[in-house]
Amino acid sequence: METVKIRNHDMYWDIAADIHFPPNFDIAKKYPAIISAHPIGSCKEQTSGNVYGAALANEGFVVIAFDASFQGASGGEPRFIEDPTLRVEDFRHVADYLMTLPYVDEDRIGVLGICGGGGYSINAAMTERRIKAVGTVTGANYGRLMRGNFTGLNPIAALEAMAKQRTAEARGADVKIDDLLPPSPEEAGRLGVTDRDPLEATEYYRTPRGQKPNGLNRSVPSHQAAAVGWDAFHLAEVLLTQPLCVVVGDKVGAFGAYRDGCEIIERAASKKKELVALEGWSHYDLYDKPEPVSLALAKLIPFYKENL
């Protein structure tokens, strides 16, 4: 594995990425490549890199797992911004970087997104035609979430609060940073969290199972307004034409990946598209648990081999 810095030419910072190489890698050969995108509030050292990135590299792909701008080891201030427009632009910069690598076949580039990274992958592929195949694992539409559960089903009130906070920060107040999850599963229980997805998210991100220094699940409310008006699937009926493989678990939770998977399969213009619903597994099971990950890869590996 190699860690690299990718210049974001539209802004003024670098994007950090890990490149996972196939066994017996030969720089003189040409390889298909996959851009792997992490979940909301995650980082490249979690599921997108250390689980799916490593596994796909072992199957012969060059996999580049990157940290979103403002997150992980990538640059950008203030930290922890989650702006869908900028998240999608990150894919273009990573694709630019792949074009400079002599061992990457520019005509065989795919994308894989996990959770929110899945929604971003779908949206990026619509207008980034260097992406030839799209895979998602428990992919979620962040815009829908921001109009729904993430704003208490009251997006207008949330936008008003965001506007007030942004005004305060423009006038010199400290940037407000929220923790998206309780500090421990025990605290989640004490707070009365009952839904499967936030409970399992806490168990993944706030315990040694998935904890990483840069996967902190924090947000900046003053910079969330753009997400409320964004839709990962907008124009999918017209622009999403690449082969599409959507993997979800059928144990439904509040974050809505199962719903989003069904919706994008119905709406995508792709002629080759498949929804894979893994029976008995949940959103966070698919992050790292060996059995559901193996089931997901059993679909994704042949999908990428066929379409890249």
Identify whether 220 is part of a domain: no
User: Mean pLDDT across the stretch 248-272?
Assistant: 98
Mean pLDDT for all residues in the chain: 97
**Model pLDDT for residues 169-218, shown as the tens digit of each residue:** 999 999 999 999 999 999 999 999 999 999 999 999 999 999 999 999 99
Q: Is residue 49 part of a domain?
A: yes
Q: Which two tokens stand for residue 18?
A: 């890990």
166-175 long-range contacts (CB < 8 A, ≥24 apart) are: 166/222, 166/223, 166/225, 168/222, 169/222, 175/78, 175/220, 175/222
Task: Show the tokens assigned to 158.
Answer: 């949330």
The conformation of residue 48, written as its DSSP 8-state character, comes to I
Peptide bond between residue 78 and the one before it cis (omega within 30 degrees of 0): yes
Q: Largest Cα–Cα distance in the chain?
A: 57
- CATH number of the domain residue 240 falls in: 3.40.50.1820
Q: What's the pLDDT tens digit per position in 111-144? A: 999 999 999 999 999 999 999 999 999 999 999 9
pLDDT at 147 over 90: yes
How many independent structural domains does the chain possess? 1
**Quick one: tokens of 111?**
């994308």
Within a domain: 100: yes
Q: Are 232 and 94 in contact (CB under 8 A)?
A: no
pLDDT at 8 over 90: no
Does 262 reside within a domain?
A: yes
**Contacting residues for 291 by C-beta, under 8 A, at least 6 apart:** 281
Residue 247's SS3 state is strand
> Is 168 inside any structural domain?
no
**13 is written with which tokens?**
């910072």
Dump strand ranges (E) for 21-149.
31-37, 62-66, 104-114, 133-137
Average pLDDT over residues 65-75: 97
| pTM of the shown model | 0.97
Q: Find out whether 187 and 50 touch, Cβ atoms under 8 Å.
A: no
Q: How many CB atoms lie within 10 A of CB 1?
A: 13
Residue 11: its pLDDT value, please? 75
The domain of 123 spans 2-150+230-307
pLDDT of residue 9 exceeding 90, the answer is: no
Structure tokens at 125: 């592929």
Residue range 226-242: mean pLDDT, rounded: 98
pLDDT of amino acid 251: 97
Is residue 176 in some structural domain? no
49 φ, ψ to 5°? -105, -60
> Is residue 191, in this structure, part of any structural domain at all?
no
Per-residue pLDDT of 33-45, as tens digits, reads 999 999 999 999 9
Asked, for residue 173, whether it belongs to a domain, the answer is no
Report the run of H or E that residue 280 belongs to, with start and end.
strand 273-282
